[in-house]
């Protein structure tokens, strides 16, 4: 199947700093990518839809100024957590779908963010 790579897999940062997470589609182009957040022992919550060349679409309750999404190319979307606080600590996962033929989405490895 298609490969989605997410980096870093784990990051620890200080409160007030910003962290950038990258999501790349390695062997296909993705005009749309999705960012999810997973709380401990909880399901995945869709945060936003990242659209190449245009603004991201955020789900209700997700602060767009806090979670900046940039989708500057057909293979890369980035999520920047700005002015991070401990409550932003979570597991963030991106996904994309190869529109050439697959109906399933493929996921990155996830990023464990810990804000101290």
Number of residues that bind another protein (CB under 8 A): 27
Instruction: Confirm or reject binding of residue 31 to another protein (CB under 8 A).
Output: yes
CA–CA gap between residue 58 and residue 38 (Å, rounded): 16
Candidates 13, 44, 68, 76: give the one binding another protein (CB under 8 A): 44
Answer whether 68's CB lies under 8 Å from 80's CB.
yes
Q: Which residue stretch of 14-22, 31-39, 64-72, 73-81 sits at the interface with another protein (rule: CB under 8 A)?
A: 31-39
Residue from 11, 13, 46, 68 in contact with another protein (CB under 8 A): 46
For residue 103, state whether it binds another protein (rule: CB under 8 A): yes
Number of other CB atoms surrounding residue 26 within 10 Å: 10
Q: Where are the beta strands (DSSP E) in 1-116?
A: 4-7, 10-13, 19-25, 32-38, 44-51, 57-58, 67-73, 76-81, 90-96, 106-107, 111-115
Interface residues with another protein (CB under 8 A) are 1, 4, 6, 9-10, 31-32, 34, 42-44, 46, 49, 91, 93, 95, 97, 99, 103-110, 112
């Amino acid at each position: 199947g298609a490969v989605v790579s997410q980096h870093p897999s784990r990051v620890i940062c200080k409160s007030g700093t910003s962290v950038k997470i990258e999501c790349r589609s390695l062997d296909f182009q993705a005009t749309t990518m999705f960012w999810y957040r997973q709380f401990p022992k909880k399901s995945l919550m869709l945060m936003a839809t990242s659209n190449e060349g245009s603004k991201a679409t955020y789900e209700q309750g997700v602060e767009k100024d806090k979670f900046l999404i940039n989708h500057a190319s057909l293979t890369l979307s980035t999520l920047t957590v700005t002015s991070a606080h401990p409550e932003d600590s979570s597991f963030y996962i991106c996904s994309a779908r190869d529109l050439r033929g697959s109906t399933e989405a493929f996921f990155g490895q996830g990023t464990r963010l810990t804000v101290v």
